[in-house]
Structure 1
Amino acid sequence: MSAYEDVLAWPLIVGSDIVSAHRALALVQEAPGRLELQTTCSAFDAVIVPAVLGADLLVLADRRGQDPAPVPSLVYGTGETVLLVAPGTAAPLIGVAGVRVESGPGGRIALPPSGGSRWDTWPWALDEPTPATLSDGGCLLPLLRTAMASTLTS
């Protein structure tokens, strides 16, 4: 949990309070399953899609190699995938059916270990403590269209 604070410099929120990683861990352990750990979408835009669509999109992105770069992503127990892209770049995805965008300091997402969420692709390098490079959200639009078309024909 300290990577959220130390590596990514993301604010951690429990309830309505911004807390340290140490305090967040203590609160979550005191009330397992009852408190949600969140962050604002200041350092990224969050693109939220149904899990099946998200999985297809990530496979397509992997097949393309490094364009876009590996997309940090979360899988929620509610059946959603959250893709993190560079801040202010997800606007082209607003209004696409089945896509929700959270952006800026008013946008929030839940972070692991909350509510059965887990990282599919980490937002930091596992071999050294550096944040992942975030892709432009617009790069996801053609992949999203392809994934949606293949989901509809499956």
Structure 2
Amino acid sequence: MELINTCRPDDAATAYSTSLHWLLSVGYRHRPRQGCTCTEQNCPVPGAHPRPDSPVYVGPELIVQELEQSPGAGIIAWTTRFDALVLPRSVGLATMAALDQIAQVPCIVTDDAVTLLVLPATGRFARTFHPDLEVRSGRSNWIALPPSHGTRWDTPPWVPQTSTPVALLHGVDVGCRLGGPSSPESSSELAGSNPLPPTTTPSE
């Protein structure tokens, strides 16, 4: 099978849309030596945050067309098919070291943060495990996906060498490992974590 190339915006958007059924939008553009098209002089995430007027796409064709016309634009995923746990980079990397021993947890890394993906509507259960955790959940929240400027996958969201989505863990199973080894407070079994449910693409 051909590997998914998340360095190419059109390939990445197609994979996120068709294989993972994520709702996507096109973000602001990052311009080398000119910064973000949002015009904020010191934008903290240039080319990696949503435009207020950007439509939400449920299939790959239109978003690929827009990306081809918008070099340097970010790819934005709305947190409907997953919850995102955003952590300071040092805490997130320590968490990944613990999680790598037990499961493949999708993980996006930036210079300052690590974002872990868990089952939708379960991120809130991880809040009590670390004071610096930010939970993003629901249609009004978002994350920037690779190859948006400054982002990369540490652990991609599909089984290696395939386009099959990995089984996301419950927020508790990830939360109890935030910052390091497992805590005895976990209330759910890893072996019982379920894969993403089937999704149908809504009609326009």
Q: Which runs of 5+ in 2 are unaligned?
A: 1-11, 27-50, 182-204
Which residue identity is paired with 2:20? L
Cα deviation code 1:36-59 (max 9, x no counterpart): 211111111100001111111000
Choose 1 or 2 for highest CA Rg: 2
**Is the aligned partner of 1:81 residue 2:114?**
yes
Indicate which of 31, 37, 45 corresponds to 2:70.
Answer: 31
Aligned to 1:91: 124
Displacement of 1:128 in angstroms is 2.4
Displacement of 1:29 in angstroms is 4.0
**Is the aligned partner of 1:49 residue 2:61?**
no
Q: What secondary structure does 2:122 align onto?
A: coil
Tell me if structure 2 keeps the 8 A contact 1:24–1:37. no
Aligned to 2:60: 21
Aligned to 1:150: none
Displacement of 1:145 in angstroms is 4.9
Higher helix share: 1
Question: TM-score, normalized by length of structure 2?
Answer: 0.63
Displacement of 1:27 in angstroms is 3.0
**Is the aligned partner of 1:7 residue 2:19?**
yes
Aligned pairs for 1:67-146 (under 5 A) are: 69-77=103-111, 79-94=112-127, 96-146=130-180
- Across the aligned residues of Structure 1 and Structure 2, the Cα RMSD in angstroms comes to 1.9
What is the distance in 1 between the residues matched to 2:150 and 2:63? 17
Q: What secondary structure does 1:146 align onto?
A: coil
Q: What secondary structure does 1:143 align onto?
A: coil
Q: Which runs of 5+ in 1 are unaligned?
A: 148-154
Runs of 4 or more, structure 1, over 6 Å off, are none
- Residues 1:82 and 1:58: Cα distance change in structure 2 (over 3 Å): same
Which residue identity is paired with 2:156? W
